[in-house]
Amino acid sequence: MGNCQEGMVFVKGGRYKGQTIPDLCVDQHEFTNADTSRVAAQTAGQYQLMSVSPSGSTVEVVESGKDPKALWAKIAARGPDLTKGIAGYFLRAVSALPSLVSPKDFDKPNQPQVDVDGYQAKQFCEAQGKRLLTPIEWEYVASQGGAKRYSTRSGKLDSGVHYGAGATRQVCKAAGRYIEFGGKEICDMNGNVWEWTLDPSGDYYTSGGSFGISILWLLQADYRSRVNPGRSNFNIGFRCGSSAQDSK
């Protein structure tokens, strides 16, 4: 099911709050400090072959590589495929990624990357051929299509939500407690760190609550807050997603 990159979980789309949610691929866990180093090294000097939807509102990475001529030749061989929602293709260079450093007590390899603003989160996702989820997509996943108030197996506040603490914890620390799709868990969508999302209108939001939250309704799957995308803090991180256009 789905054509997802390694480390991502396929989520079947559906109707939610009057909107149609597409099939999605969602990172199993929040982007970590180790991921920051890995992605920066992997994408240095790369180019990306991009597809664009007829409206221009959806852009997806088709393929990446370090030979722009070879990628350009593939563009010439491809044409629009409206049956898959593709109006055309273009080539772009991967911009140099920003330097991100989490503060002391938040800097272990498997802790979430923090002190990242919305623009930086978007850039790191796109460098991997992914994107930030929209707020409604994020909520759909976290609530399992509206079935749960919190993103835990039980749907209740339990050890699957890291809150009321002094710092983040290692991602997926409470294995067996998280929401599950097709037998695979998606960890820490509530608690640990607030996660950036990006609305099609261009507005940035954070969802999910963080390790320091004591006001419990802020941790609910359907809560979001509009935030200046230039803001960064030790309680804000992100995870990436993508449309699973080739899912069956």
pLDDT in tens, the chain (248 residues): 568 999 999 999 999 999 999 999 999 999 999 999 999 888 877 787 878 877 766 677 777 788 878 887 877 677 777 767 777 887 777 767 889 999 999 999 999 999 999 999 999 999 998 999 999 999 999 999 999 999 999 999 999 999 999 999 999 999 999 999 999 999 999 999 999 999 999 999 999 999 999 999 999 999 999 999 999 999 999 999 999 864 33
- What pLDDT is attached to residue 194? 98
- What pLDDT is attached to residue 215? 94
Assess contact for 40 and 46: CB atoms under 8 A: no
Task: Tell whether pTM > 0.85.
Answer: no
- What pLDDT is attached to residue 71? 81
Q: Which distant-in-sequence residues (6+ apart) come within 8 Å of 202 by Cβ?
A: none
**168-206: string of b/e by CB count within 10 Å (b at 16+)?**
bbbbbbbeebbbebeeebbbbbbbbbbbbbbeeeeebbb
Assess contact for 239 and 31: CB atoms under 8 A: yes
How many other C-beta atoms can be found within 10 angstroms of the C-beta atom of residue 240? 28
- What pLDDT is attached to residue 73? 83
Distance (Å, whole) CA 36 – CA 123: 11
- What pLDDT is attached to residue 248? 36
- What pLDDT is attached to residue 186? 98
Distance (Å, whole) CA 150 – CA 170: 19
99 beta partners: none
- What pLDDT is attached to residue 247? 38
- What pLDDT is attached to residue 232? 97
- What pLDDT is attached to residue 57? 62
Q: Which distant-in-sequence residues (6+ apart) come within 8 Å of 62 by Cβ?
A: 48, 49, 50, 51, 89
- What pLDDT is attached to residue 246? 42
Q: Which two tokens stand for residue 122?
A: 């978007």
For residue 137, how far is the Cα from the chain centroid?
Answer: 10
- What pLDDT is attached to residue 178? 97
